[in-house]
Amino acid sequence: MAYNFLELVNQVNRRFNEVELTSASFATAKGFYGSAKDSVNAAIRDVTQSHFEWTFNHANKEETLVAGTTRYAIPDSTSSIDYNSFRIKKDDALGNATTKLNVLTYEEYLKRFVDQEYTTDTGTRGLPLYVIQAPSEEYLVSPAPDQAYTLVFEYYTIPTDLSLYSDVPTIPERFKHVIIDGAMYHAYMFRGNEQSAAISKQKFDEGIKRMRTILINRYTYMSSSYITPSGSNISGPRLI
C-alpha cells in the first residue's frame, strides 16, 4: 500500500466500516469522508506541534546576502531556527572561506552595532561575523555584508496540510500508526463518540511519547579521568 494521504484516510474509513475513497473520488469527498481528511491533517498537526524540532522536519536554507542589508526574513512555516548553525559558505569568486557566525543577543547588537543600519559609510561593511535573533520574524547579520555572500543555516519547518490524494506526510512511514490513532480520535469526536475518542487519544499520546524517545532523546557520554586516593585511574562512560 502506498503511504500517502489517500491511504491514511482510507485506513480511517475501514475502521469505521465506510466505503474506501479512490484517487478519482478523493478531491470531492464530503460529509464523513471530508471529516476523515480533516482528521488526518489534524493528527499530523498535533504531532508536529508537540515538538518544535522533529528530525523529519529539519531543513537547510541558503540565503544570498545583499550588500549593505542587515535584516532578513525567516523562512515561511518556520517552527524554530538553530542559530548556532549559521555560517558563510566558502566562495572562491568572492575570496572568502567558510566562516561560522557567532550568536549575539539583540540587546548587545543594539549597544554595539545598530548604527550599521543607518550609516552610509560603506567602509563599515565586511564579512559578517555575528548573527542576531530579532524580536520580529527576522534575523540580523553583523557587520553588514559588503558582498553577496552565501549564508547557510539550519531550521525546522511546520509542514503544510496534505491536500492531494498523493501527498506524503513528512512523518516517516514507520509512525503511520500514530497518525491513524490521532485521526481516529478526531473522527470519533466528529461522530460524538467521546468514550472511543478518549481511548484513541490515549494511544495517540503514547505514540507521540515513543516517537520522542526514538527521534529526540539523545544521550551523551564522556570518560572520567578521576584519580582515586589510592592512585587508581577510573575511566568509563558516564551519562551527562
pLDDT in tens, 74-100: 999 999 999 999 999 999 999 999 999
Residue 204 belongs to a domain: yes
66 and 122 belong to one structural domain: yes
Do 19 and 103 have their domain in common? no
Contacts of 27 (CB under 8 A, 6+ apart): 164, 165
The single residue listed with the C-alpha cell 542587515 is: 70
- Whether 66 and 152 map to the same domain: the answer is yes
**Does 148 share its domain with 63?**
yes
Please check whether residue 106 lies inside any domain of the structure.
Answer: yes
Question: What's the per-residue H, E or C state across 170-192?
Answer: CCCHHHHHHHHHHHHHHHHHHCC
Whether residue 119 is found in the same domain as residue 184: no
* Confidence class for position 41, pLDDT limits 50, 70, 90: very high
Tell me: pLDDT of 144 over 60. yes
Q: Looking at the structure, tell me whether residues 47 and 118 fall in a common domain.
A: no
Which domain does 194 fall in, by range?
Answer: 5-52+171-213
* 60 and 148 part of one domain: yes
Domain-located, residue 233: no
Considering only CA atoms, give the Rg of the chain.
Answer: 25
Residue 91: how many other CB atoms lie within 10 Å: 14
pTM score, whole prediction = 0.82
The pLDDT of residue 232 is above 60: no
Proportion of the chain above pLDDT 90, given as a percent:
88
What's the total number of domains in the chain? 2
18, 86: one domain: no
User: Given this model, what pLDDT does residue 228 score?
Assistant: 52
- Binned at pLDDT 50, 70 and 90, residue 240 comes out as very low
